[in-house]
Structure 1
Amino acid sequence: MLTHLNNLWQRLRASLWLVPSVMCLAAFGLALLADKLDRIYHVSGDGRWPKWLIYQGDLEGARTLLSSVAGSMITVAGTTFSITMVVLQLASSQFGPRLLTNFMRDTGNQFVLGTFVSTFLYCLLALGNGGGISGEPPAVSATLGLLLAVLSVFVFIYFIHHVSSTIRAEHVVQMVAFGSVNAIKRLTSPSEQDVDQDFSLDDALSGHEIHVRALRSGYLQAIDEQGLSDTASSLDGVFKVHFRPGKFITANDCLATLFTSQAKNKNSDDYSGYFIIGHCRTDEQDPEYGISQLVEVAVRALSPGINDPHTAISCIDWLNSGLKEIANQPLKSDYCCDEEGELRLVRCNSDFAGLLNTAYDQIRQNSIASPAVAIHLAEALADLYQVTESETRRGSVHHQAQLILTAAKQSQWLESDLEDLENRYQRLN
């Protein structure tokens, strides 16, 4: 259940309408409150209210003020929306369409659009209030409308600065890298039920088999591992998961197999709800997707149409930073037990070598035509090799560096560039 709620929250965060909708509801409530305050203001008299704070014009002036603010706000909101669409189009063409979610998730853009739309809605509702008493100006409503208009001016100034900053390559790389590093770190957070010992799978994975099949095609976004473990414990069985989040699933594929001795549950198909399948990948339980987003930025930067090696080098630095943080950390175990120590879940996890290949394979393949990027990649691998203690993981890093050197020798590099690359490679020996 928590996995489903968290996945739903991630989708809502990526929706451009969430924050503006909430702010519009707040504007509706503010308009009702202003109407009540208008009634109190006219009944109690204006002597108890500071004149410098409350609107002192007549009814026609208040209506003109509110209508002017409403008209200008909807115009500014349209302009803001148009600018946002241009930024999204630019980001899609330069950094890749899969990065649009990061821009749509940006709280600043949502807040700016919500401010203009909610101010328009408030003024529209305030015009219909009429001050609460016939013939009297809506003084409090007009005052709040004026204050919201002033606030909107400052929000528009912020938007101009914000939108010009978000399309900078450095900001995009840092934004994507932050999510990628966090996704990688989640692989190093084993629960108390995770164990590293080897089980006799022939004994554990025995009994009646219940195949959990996908109801539709799509990407496996998340798995409710706690729900699977609890269900397996109640049935005295073991779930073996066949796919990890991020893999494309075809309808009727076997997502997992439940091994249990309880024959009455043999034909049960109630376990597909533990697997969330969607039309796209997410980085909630799929660290390779976050890495792939950063790789896409680097590969596009290396394309002849863009030719931006500095952005590619920045992506390599951030990728190396995330890999160095887990270089000597144990990853989540493939086995999960219940509180009694009984095996209940066999996962299909990513390993260090898989993350390393996802991070550097495509960059390595596209950087041979750019010696500066290839040399920096070899230097990053050398730094990763120096901090890595496991010989197995060191072997994976060394293999990547060796592939770079082999490809460079087969290309028409200058002797000086090839010598620089070999100097970096020597640090891995």
Structure 2
Amino acid sequence: MNAMVSVDRVRFLVNRFRERLWVRPLTVCLLSIGAAFVAKLFDSTALGAYVPAITSDSIEALLSIMAASMLVIATFSVASMVSAYAAASNTATPRSFSLVVADDASQNALSAFVGAFIFSVVALTAAKNDYFETAGLFILFALTVLVFAVVILTFVRWVDGIARLGRLGSTMDKVEKAAGNALIRRRDAPTMNARVARARPEGATVFATTIGYVQYVDIAALQTWAEAVEARVVVAALPGTFVTPDRPLAYVCDADRDGRADRSGQVADAFQVGDARRFEDDPRFGLVVLSEIAGRALSPAVNDPGTAIDVVGRLVRLFHQWCEPAAARDADSPMYERVEVPRLSVREMFDDAFTAIARDGAGQVEVSVRLQKALRSLASIGDASVRDAARHHRALALARAGSALDQPEDLAAVRDAAGDNAK
């Protein structure tokens, strides 16, 4: 089962580490400690005869300034990041928190500031104890100047980034990008490089052992197990599914009964179950989060229809990406021929994206009009499933607007946006 480690599995683990704030600063700290001692290696070379002599006092002065300032800046950056995280949860939705935490610019800035502080403390301690000779002092001086330059450039870039971090527009951009990446990945591999699942699978049922959301399914591990017992595995719970001990994760078909009984527990281990949904393997989650942002904007306490209209436009872009031609693949020879995976339901994707907006924005003519125009555009796409789902939601949104709008002129504007053939 563990013999094959797929690229998707590595990607999933790397993304989990990216969400940990301590990983990148710790890595930079270790590199900083190593860099402070690299200078000593040059003392054993003839470099000292060719480089100018640098006094230890000048280097100590620079390192002292860096040590005194970097810890303050690092503390300030952490406080700013925490404020941005709180703003993202309050203005957008708490489900966007993981994307804001994984922001590369903020993590790089914090890592640079903490790393510079550690470098200056270690190098200053070594210099005050006459650890370096002529060549070592010169290399240490060059490294100090380099660290200063990196810190200044990082700070300038970070000031621009922290001004946007946690703001509603920036958070929406991150959610749209995450949703788009997940949609493109699933569009190019609708069944995760496995076979298409049968409508009614038959076989031994594998149930979940924990309660939570399926975050990732290791198809490569399922393939390895299925080959070992000469079975077929039909996945019943895609990433994003909420599972309980009575909810099937998969069905095992055609396996030897003894081998299946002894090793079927390994099938459940291929399903990563956690407390929250993740963006990268769950395309529907990004649609849900965007819909939540629009729903909060349409609440009476916020009353921001412009944000809801912006979300509708983003959803249209995402579904247009979904309908773009996928990478050419041979459907008859999938990579994992012993695993079957169901396709995503386009109707359910539209439910995630547009139901809440149509419900909460039914009483606001500008939102209803924009929603009808968006669904009318999606209904013109050649993809039959998207076209049918768009027409269905056009009719639902029009019915909700008819019940919520009091002015005949407003309702007429919505009907005109829907078109004469809305059904």
Query: Scaled by the length of structure 1, what TM-score is found?
Result: 0.85
Deviation at 1:194, TM superposition (A): 5.3
User: How many pairs does the alignment contain?
Assistant: 411
Cα distance between partner residues in 1 of 2:257 and 2:333 = 22
CA distance in 1, matches of 2:228, 2:356: 45
Cα 1:412–1:318 shift into 2, 3 Å: closer
List runs of 5+ in structure 2 lacking aligned partners: none
Match of 2:276 in 1: 280
* Aligned partner letter, 2:22: W
Which of 302, 307, 316 is matched with 2:303 structurally? 307
Q: Give the aligned partner of residue 140 of structure 2.
A: 141
Residue 302 of structure 2 aligns to a residue whose secondary structure is: coil
Query: Which of 154-163 and 113-122 deviates more?
Result: 154-163
**For the Cα contact (< 8 Å) 2:195–2:341, is it kept in 1?**
no
| Mean Cα deviation higher: 150-159 or 92-101 | 150-159
Residue aligning to 1:158: 157
Check conservation: 2:229, 2:260, Cα contact below 8 A. Answer: no
Q: Where in structure 1 are there 5+ consecutive unaligned residues?
A: none
- Aligned equivalents of 1:360, 1:395: Cα separation in 2: 14
Q: Identify the residue that residue 415 of structure 1 maps to in structure 2.
A: 408
* 2:27 matched residue in structure 1: 22
Question: 2: CA distance between counterparts of 1:253 and 1:313?
Answer: 37
Structure 1 residue 94 corresponds to structure 2 residue 91: yes
CA distance in 1, matches of 2:270, 2:328: 19
Q: Does 1:5 align with 2:10?
A: yes
**Number of the residue aligned with 1:366:** 360
Letter of the aligned partner of 2:27 in structure 1? V
- For residue 28 of structure 2, give the secondary structure of its aligned residue in structure 1: helix
Distance 1:200 1:384 in 2: 27
RMSD in angstroms over aligned alpha carbons?
A: 3.2
SS in 2 for 1:219: strand
| Distance in structure 2 (CA, Å) of the matches to 1:200 and 1:160 | 54
The one-letter amino acid of 1:114's match is S
Whole-angstrom CA distance in 1 between matches of 2:200 and 2:358: 38
Distance, in Å, in 2 between the alignment partners of 1:193 and 1:133 is 57
CA 309–30 in structure 1, closer or farther in 2 if over 3 Å, else same: same
Which of the residues 209, 219, 224 maps onto 1:225? 219
Residues 193 and 307 of structure 1, relative CA distance in 2, 3 Å threshold: closer
SS class of match (2:266): coil
CA distance in structure 1 between the partners assigned to 2:325 and 2:136 by the alignment: 68
Contact 1:298 1:315 in 2 (8 A): yes
Task: Evaluate the alpha carbon distance shift between residue 345 and residue 331 of structure 1 in structure 2; reply closer, same or farther with a 3 A threshold.
Answer: farther
Q: Deviations over 1:145-202 (max 9, x none)?
A: 2442343233222211111133443332222111112212223223796566x96968
d(CA) in 1 for partners of 2:104, 2:338? 40
Q: Given residue 177 of structure 1, which amino acid in structure 2 is its aligned partner?
A: E
Paired AA for residue 322 in structure 1: L
Shifted more, 91-100 versus 218-227: the winner is 218-227
Change (3 A) 1:398 1:253: closer
Distance 1:275 1:354 in 2: 22
Measured against aligned partners, the alpha-carbon deviations of 1:106-125 in whole angstroms (never above 9, x if no partner) come to 11111111111111111111
Residue 137 to residue 65, structure 1, CA distance change in 2 (3 Å): farther
Distance in 2, Cα, partners of 1:178 & 1:112: 22
Is 1:321 paired with 2:317? yes
Contact kept in structure 2, 1:35 and 1:129, CA below 8 Å: no
Q: Does the 8 Å CA contact 1:194/1:336 hold for their aligned counterparts?
A: no
| CA distance in structure 2 between the aligned counterparts of 1:61 and 1:344, rounded to whole angstroms | 68
Does structure 2 retain, via aligned residues, the 8 Å contact 1:28–1:121?
Answer: yes
Change (3 A) 1:201 1:156: closer
CA contact (8 A) 2:91 2:168 kept: no
Sequence identity percentage = 22
How much does 1:66 deviate? 1.5
Q: Please give the per-residue CA displacement for 1:229-261, whole angstroms capped at 9, x wherever unaligned.
A: 343344332222222211122246432221224
Contact 1:217–1:249 at 8 Å: present in 2 too?
yes
